[in-house]
A and B are shown apart, each in its own frame.
Chain A
Amino acid sequence: MDAGPTTEPKATSSTEGLRPVPGVWVGNLRDIVERLVGLPPIKSLINWSRLYSLWPVHLTTACCSAEFGAMMGPRYDPERFGMQAAVGSMRQSDLLVIEGTVTKKMLKRIKVVWEQMPNPKYAIAMGDCACSGGLFHDSYSIINEVEKTIPIDVYVPGCPPRPEAVLNAVIKLREKIRREEVYSK
Protein backbone atom coordinates (compact mmCIF):
# COMPACT_ATOMS: atom_id res chain seq x y z
CA MET A 1 0.00 0.00 0.00
CA ASP A 2 1.50 3.20 -0.97
CA ALA A 3 1.70 5.75 1.66
CA GLY A 4 0.72 8.84 -0.20
CA PRO A 5 3.08 11.69 -0.72
CA THR A 6 4.10 12.85 2.73
CA THR A 7 4.28 16.44 3.51
CA GLU A 8 7.15 17.64 5.60
CA PRO A 9 5.94 19.58 8.57
CA LYS A 10 6.93 23.17 8.08
CA ALA A 11 9.70 24.26 10.40
CA THR A 12 8.18 26.60 12.92
CA SER A 13 9.62 28.50 15.85
CA SER A 14 8.78 26.98 19.14
CA THR A 15 6.36 29.66 20.16
CA GLU A 16 4.63 30.35 16.84
CA GLY A 17 0.91 29.88 16.85
CA LEU A 18 0.66 29.75 20.62
CA ARG A 19 -1.11 32.42 22.55
CA PRO A 20 0.86 33.92 25.44
CA VAL A 21 -0.78 33.06 28.72
CA PRO A 22 -0.01 35.34 31.64
CA GLY A 23 2.16 33.70 34.34
CA VAL A 24 3.39 30.88 32.13
CA TRP A 25 6.74 30.84 30.37
CA VAL A 26 6.78 29.26 27.02
CA GLY A 27 9.91 28.65 25.07
CA ASN A 28 12.74 26.19 24.63
CA LEU A 29 14.43 24.81 27.72
CA ARG A 30 17.77 26.57 27.34
CA ASP A 31 16.21 30.03 27.10
CA ILE A 32 14.06 29.31 30.13
CA VAL A 33 16.99 28.18 32.22
CA GLU A 34 19.10 31.16 31.20
CA ARG A 35 16.34 33.57 32.08
CA LEU A 36 15.70 31.90 35.45
CA VAL A 37 19.33 31.76 36.43
CA GLY A 38 19.85 35.36 35.36
CA LEU A 39 17.26 36.56 37.86
CA PRO A 40 18.50 38.19 41.04
CA PRO A 41 18.12 35.41 43.64
CA ILE A 42 19.95 32.70 41.73
CA LYS A 43 22.36 35.10 40.03
CA SER A 44 23.36 36.58 43.37
CA LEU A 45 23.85 33.13 44.82
CA ILE A 46 26.07 32.01 41.97
CA ASN A 47 28.08 35.22 42.00
CA TRP A 48 28.37 35.08 45.78
CA SER A 49 29.80 31.58 45.65
CA ARG A 50 32.31 32.60 42.99
CA LEU A 51 33.56 35.69 44.74
CA TYR A 52 33.91 34.03 48.09
CA SER A 53 36.23 31.33 46.86
CA LEU A 54 38.80 32.82 44.56
CA TRP A 55 41.70 30.40 44.51
CA PRO A 56 44.92 31.68 42.99
CA VAL A 57 47.28 29.61 40.91
CA HIS A 58 50.79 29.09 42.24
CA LEU A 59 52.54 30.98 39.49
CA THR A 60 55.25 33.40 40.49
CA THR A 61 56.62 35.58 37.76
CA ALA A 62 59.20 37.86 39.38
CA CYS A 63 60.02 39.79 42.53
CA CYS A 64 56.48 40.88 43.43
CA SER A 65 55.90 37.33 44.55
CA ALA A 66 57.55 38.19 47.87
CA GLU A 67 54.74 40.63 48.66
CA PHE A 68 52.16 38.19 47.38
CA GLY A 69 53.57 35.61 49.76
CA ALA A 70 53.41 38.15 52.57
CA MET A 71 49.78 38.82 51.71
CA MET A 72 49.01 35.13 52.10
CA GLY A 73 50.51 35.31 55.59
CA PRO A 74 48.75 35.67 58.91
CA ARG A 75 48.79 39.46 59.21
CA TYR A 76 46.77 40.18 56.09
CA ASP A 77 44.79 36.94 56.16
CA PRO A 78 43.19 36.54 52.74
CA GLU A 79 41.31 33.47 53.94
CA ARG A 80 38.59 35.70 55.36
CA PHE A 81 37.86 36.49 51.71
CA GLY A 82 37.93 32.83 50.81
CA MET A 83 41.24 33.09 49.03
CA GLN A 84 43.45 30.21 49.94
CA ALA A 85 46.36 28.85 48.00
CA ALA A 86 45.66 25.33 49.11
CA VAL A 87 45.97 23.49 45.84
CA GLY A 88 47.99 25.53 43.43
CA SER A 89 47.07 23.50 40.42
CA MET A 90 45.67 25.46 37.54
CA ARG A 91 42.79 23.10 36.92
CA GLN A 92 41.27 23.93 40.28
CA SER A 93 41.81 27.65 40.51
CA ASP A 94 40.18 30.69 39.04
CA LEU A 95 42.51 33.59 39.69
CA LEU A 96 45.80 34.24 37.93
CA VAL A 97 47.95 36.89 39.54
CA ILE A 98 50.70 38.05 37.24
CA GLU A 99 53.26 39.18 39.76
CA GLY A 100 56.00 41.19 38.20
CA THR A 101 57.90 41.27 34.95
CA VAL A 102 56.92 38.93 32.16
CA THR A 103 59.84 37.90 29.99
CA LYS A 104 59.53 36.65 26.45
CA LYS A 105 60.60 33.20 27.55
CA MET A 106 57.90 33.05 30.23
CA LEU A 107 55.03 34.48 28.18
CA LYS A 108 54.37 31.26 26.30
CA ARG A 109 54.10 29.32 29.54
CA ILE A 110 51.75 31.86 31.14
CA LYS A 111 49.51 31.52 28.12
CA VAL A 112 49.50 27.74 28.51
CA VAL A 113 48.55 28.07 32.19
CA TRP A 114 45.80 30.58 31.35
CA GLU A 115 44.30 28.33 28.73
CA GLN A 116 44.25 25.37 31.08
CA MET A 117 42.25 27.22 33.71
CA PRO A 118 38.53 26.51 33.47
CA ASN A 119 36.01 29.32 33.03
CA PRO A 120 35.12 31.65 34.72
CA LYS A 121 38.60 32.95 35.35
CA TYR A 122 40.04 36.31 36.30
CA ALA A 123 43.45 37.92 36.10
CA ILE A 124 45.10 40.58 38.21
CA ALA A 125 48.22 42.41 36.99
CA MET A 126 50.28 43.07 40.10
CA GLY A 127 53.11 45.53 40.09
CA ASP A 128 54.39 48.19 37.72
CA CYS A 129 56.16 45.66 35.55
CA ALA A 130 52.98 43.73 34.76
CA CYS A 131 51.01 46.93 34.14
CA SER A 132 53.39 48.67 31.77
CA GLY A 133 56.97 47.41 31.93
CA GLY A 134 58.01 49.25 35.07
CA LEU A 135 61.65 49.61 36.00
CA PHE A 136 62.84 47.38 33.16
CA HIS A 137 60.80 48.77 30.31
CA ASP A 138 63.80 49.26 28.02
CA SER A 139 65.17 45.75 28.41
CA TYR A 140 65.75 43.48 25.44
CA SER A 141 63.98 40.49 26.84
CA ILE A 142 60.70 41.53 28.44
CA ILE A 143 57.15 42.11 27.32
CA ASN A 144 55.74 45.49 28.21
CA GLU A 145 52.06 44.86 27.52
CA VAL A 146 50.73 41.68 29.00
CA GLU A 147 47.13 42.62 28.30
CA LYS A 148 47.58 41.81 24.64
CA THR A 149 47.90 38.15 25.56
CA ILE A 150 45.88 37.76 28.75
CA PRO A 151 42.77 39.86 29.46
CA ILE A 152 43.39 41.65 32.74
CA ASP A 153 40.58 42.58 35.12
CA VAL A 154 42.35 44.70 37.73
CA TYR A 155 45.68 46.56 37.65
CA VAL A 156 47.65 47.20 40.83
CA PRO A 157 50.49 49.70 40.51
CA GLY A 158 53.44 49.74 42.89
CA CYS A 159 56.96 48.45 43.05
CA PRO A 160 56.16 46.23 44.86
CA PRO A 161 52.58 47.06 45.85
CA ARG A 162 51.89 46.72 49.53
CA PRO A 163 49.86 43.67 50.53
CA GLU A 164 46.99 45.98 51.47
CA ALA A 165 46.97 47.26 47.88
CA VAL A 166 46.70 43.74 46.51
CA LEU A 167 43.87 42.96 48.92
CA ASN A 168 42.17 46.14 47.74
CA ALA A 169 42.48 44.85 44.19
CA VAL A 170 40.89 41.56 45.24
CA ILE A 171 38.01 43.49 46.82
CA LYS A 172 37.51 45.48 43.60
CA LEU A 173 37.53 42.22 41.66
CA ARG A 174 34.86 40.87 43.98
CA GLU A 175 32.70 43.92 43.32
CA LYS A 176 33.12 43.29 39.63
CA ILE A 177 32.09 39.66 40.01
CA ARG A 178 29.08 40.61 42.10
CA ARG A 179 27.71 42.69 39.22
CA GLU A 180 28.55 40.16 36.54
CA GLU A 181 26.04 38.43 34.31
CA VAL A 182 26.09 34.70 34.88
CA TYR A 183 26.18 33.70 31.22
CA SER A 184 28.42 36.46 30.00
CA LYS A 185 31.55 34.30 29.43
Chain B
Amino acid sequence: MTISPSVQEEHIATAIRNELGNAVDEVTSQRKDRISVVARKDTLREVAQGLQRLGFDHAVSVSGVDLLEEKKIEVLYFLSSYSRDDLKHLVLSLRVKLDRESPSLPSLTPVWESANLFERETYEMFGVNFEGHPNLRKLLLQDNWDGPPPLRKDLKIPEMG
Protein backbone atom coordinates (compact mmCIF):
# COMPACT_ATOMS: atom_id res chain seq x y z
CA MET B 1 0.00 0.00 0.00
CA THR B 2 2.12 2.96 -1.21
CA ILE B 3 1.15 6.38 -0.11
CA SER B 4 3.01 8.62 -2.49
CA PRO B 5 1.24 10.02 -5.57
CA SER B 6 1.97 8.41 -8.88
CA VAL B 7 2.55 9.81 -12.36
CA GLN B 8 -1.11 9.33 -13.27
CA GLU B 9 -2.33 11.70 -10.57
CA GLU B 10 0.13 14.35 -11.76
CA HIS B 11 -1.25 14.08 -15.31
CA ILE B 12 -4.80 14.49 -14.11
CA ALA B 13 -3.85 17.42 -11.86
CA THR B 14 -2.19 19.14 -14.81
CA ALA B 15 -5.28 18.58 -16.98
CA ILE B 16 -7.45 20.17 -14.29
CA ARG B 17 -5.15 23.16 -13.98
CA ASN B 18 -5.21 23.66 -17.73
CA GLU B 19 -8.99 23.41 -17.96
CA LEU B 20 -9.86 25.64 -15.04
CA GLY B 21 -7.05 28.16 -15.00
CA ASN B 22 -7.58 31.01 -12.57
CA ALA B 23 -10.82 29.72 -11.16
CA VAL B 24 -8.94 27.43 -8.79
CA ASP B 25 -6.39 28.45 -6.22
CA GLU B 26 -4.49 25.19 -5.96
CA VAL B 27 -4.50 21.64 -7.35
CA THR B 28 -2.33 19.12 -5.51
CA SER B 29 -1.99 15.39 -5.11
CA GLN B 30 -0.60 14.31 -1.76
CA ARG B 31 -1.03 10.59 -2.00
CA LYS B 32 -2.01 7.88 -4.44
CA ASP B 33 -5.60 8.06 -5.77
CA ARG B 34 -6.28 11.41 -4.11
CA ILE B 35 -6.37 14.90 -5.63
CA SER B 36 -7.27 18.11 -3.82
CA VAL B 37 -8.67 21.22 -5.54
CA VAL B 38 -9.02 24.48 -3.62
CA ALA B 39 -11.56 26.93 -5.02
CA ARG B 40 -13.18 30.19 -3.96
CA LYS B 41 -16.80 30.82 -3.15
CA ASP B 42 -17.42 33.00 -6.20
CA THR B 43 -15.85 30.58 -8.67
CA LEU B 44 -17.27 27.41 -7.14
CA ARG B 45 -20.07 26.80 -9.67
CA GLU B 46 -17.72 27.35 -12.60
CA VAL B 47 -15.15 24.94 -11.16
CA ALA B 48 -17.85 22.33 -10.54
CA GLN B 49 -19.10 22.53 -14.11
CA GLY B 50 -15.54 22.31 -15.39
CA LEU B 51 -14.86 19.19 -13.35
CA GLN B 52 -18.07 17.63 -14.59
CA ARG B 53 -16.96 18.25 -18.17
CA LEU B 54 -13.67 16.55 -17.41
CA GLY B 55 -15.55 13.39 -16.41
CA PHE B 56 -16.26 13.63 -12.66
CA ASP B 57 -19.93 12.72 -12.72
CA HIS B 58 -20.47 11.42 -9.21
CA ALA B 59 -20.56 13.48 -6.01
CA VAL B 60 -19.70 10.94 -3.32
CA SER B 61 -20.51 13.17 -0.36
CA VAL B 62 -20.32 16.64 1.13
CA SER B 63 -18.69 17.35 4.44
CA GLY B 64 -17.82 20.24 6.68
CA VAL B 65 -14.91 20.80 9.06
CA ASP B 66 -15.03 23.39 11.84
CA LEU B 67 -11.59 25.01 11.90
CA LEU B 68 -11.86 26.78 15.21
CA GLU B 69 -8.43 28.42 15.26
CA GLU B 70 -8.72 29.94 11.79
CA LYS B 71 -12.34 30.94 12.51
CA LYS B 72 -13.44 29.31 9.28
CA ILE B 73 -15.67 26.44 8.20
CA GLU B 74 -14.33 24.38 5.33
CA VAL B 75 -16.83 22.63 3.06
CA LEU B 76 -15.56 19.73 1.01
CA TYR B 77 -17.15 17.98 -1.95
CA PHE B 78 -15.78 14.50 -2.65
CA LEU B 79 -16.03 13.57 -6.32
CA SER B 80 -15.40 10.46 -8.33
CA SER B 81 -16.42 9.04 -11.68
CA TYR B 82 -18.71 6.25 -12.81
CA SER B 83 -18.30 6.48 -16.55
CA ARG B 84 -14.60 7.17 -17.08
CA ASP B 85 -12.42 4.14 -16.45
CA ASP B 86 -9.27 6.20 -15.97
CA LEU B 87 -10.86 8.29 -13.21
CA LYS B 88 -12.71 5.56 -11.29
CA HIS B 89 -9.89 4.97 -8.81
CA LEU B 90 -9.66 8.62 -7.76
CA VAL B 91 -11.36 10.60 -5.05
CA LEU B 92 -11.10 14.32 -5.71
CA SER B 93 -11.84 16.72 -2.86
CA LEU B 94 -13.12 20.13 -3.93
CA ARG B 95 -12.82 22.46 -0.98
CA VAL B 96 -13.72 25.99 -0.10
CA LYS B 97 -13.23 27.91 3.16
CA LEU B 98 -16.03 30.07 4.46
CA ASP B 99 -16.41 32.63 7.18
CA ARG B 100 -17.50 31.03 10.45
CA GLU B 101 -20.06 33.63 11.47
CA SER B 102 -22.40 33.24 8.51
CA PRO B 103 -21.18 30.60 6.10
CA SER B 104 -22.98 30.49 2.80
CA LEU B 105 -22.16 29.27 -0.69
CA PRO B 106 -23.98 28.38 -3.91
CA SER B 107 -25.50 24.91 -3.89
CA LEU B 108 -24.06 22.38 -6.30
CA THR B 109 -27.27 20.32 -6.51
CA PRO B 110 -28.00 21.65 -10.03
CA VAL B 111 -24.64 20.21 -11.12
CA TRP B 112 -24.69 16.90 -9.19
CA GLU B 113 -28.09 15.69 -8.02
CA SER B 114 -26.44 13.24 -5.63
CA ALA B 115 -25.21 16.10 -3.44
CA ASN B 116 -28.78 16.93 -2.40
CA LEU B 117 -29.10 14.95 0.85
CA PHE B 118 -25.55 15.67 1.96
CA GLU B 119 -25.97 19.43 1.58
CA ARG B 120 -29.05 19.20 3.80
CA GLU B 121 -27.03 17.34 6.39
CA THR B 122 -24.19 19.89 6.29
CA TYR B 123 -26.79 22.64 6.67
CA GLU B 124 -28.20 21.20 9.86
CA MET B 125 -24.92 20.02 11.36
CA PHE B 126 -22.80 23.11 10.67
CA GLY B 127 -25.28 25.88 9.91
CA VAL B 128 -24.01 26.39 6.34
CA ASN B 129 -26.51 27.99 3.97
CA PHE B 130 -26.60 26.54 0.46
CA GLU B 131 -28.08 29.16 -1.86
CA GLY B 132 -30.39 27.69 -4.46
CA HIS B 133 -30.92 24.30 -2.84
CA PRO B 134 -34.43 23.01 -3.76
CA ASN B 135 -35.35 21.69 -0.31
CA LEU B 136 -33.09 23.00 2.45
CA ARG B 137 -34.50 21.66 5.71
CA LYS B 138 -33.48 19.35 8.55
CA LEU B 139 -32.68 15.76 7.75
CA LEU B 140 -31.68 13.90 10.90
CA LEU B 141 -32.23 15.96 14.01
CA GLN B 142 -35.41 15.91 16.05
CA ASP B 143 -38.10 18.43 15.17
CA ASN B 144 -37.71 20.70 18.17
CA TRP B 145 -33.90 20.89 18.23
CA ASP B 146 -32.96 24.25 19.67
CA GLY B 147 -29.24 24.04 20.31
CA PRO B 148 -26.33 25.16 18.16
CA PRO B 149 -25.50 23.13 15.03
CA PRO B 150 -24.20 19.92 16.63
CA LEU B 151 -20.96 19.34 14.77
CA ARG B 152 -19.57 22.78 15.51
CA LYS B 153 -17.09 22.84 18.31
CA ASP B 154 -19.48 25.07 20.32
CA LEU B 155 -21.55 22.08 21.40
CA LYS B 156 -19.58 20.28 24.06
CA ILE B 157 -20.08 16.70 25.13
CA PRO B 158 -18.11 15.06 27.94
CA GLU B 159 -14.60 13.91 26.98
CA MET B 160 -14.22 10.25 27.59
CA GLY B 161 -10.48 9.83 27.18
Contacts and interface: CB of A to CB of B under 8 A. Distances in A.
Question: Are chains A and B touching in the complex at the 8 Å CB cutoff?
Answer: yes
Interface of A: 103-105, 138-141
A139 B147 CA distance: 13
B49 to A, nearest CB: 37
B143 A140 contact: no
B7 interface: no
B157 A138 contact: yes
A138 B160 contact: yes
A116 to B, nearest CB: 21
A138 B150 CA distance: 13
Contacts, number: 16
A interface majority secondary structure: loop
Contacts of A105: 141-143
B155 interface: yes
B134 interface: no
Contacts of B160: 138
A105 B158 CA distance: 22
A103 B155 contact: no
B158 A138 contact: yes
B155 A140 contact: yes
B147 to A, nearest CB: 7
A104 B157 CA distance: 17
16 contacts: A103-B142, A104-B142, A105-B141, A105-B142, A105-B143, A138-B157, A138-B158, A138-B160, A139-B157, A140-B147, A140-B150, A140-B155, A140-B157, A141-B141, A141-B142, A141-B150
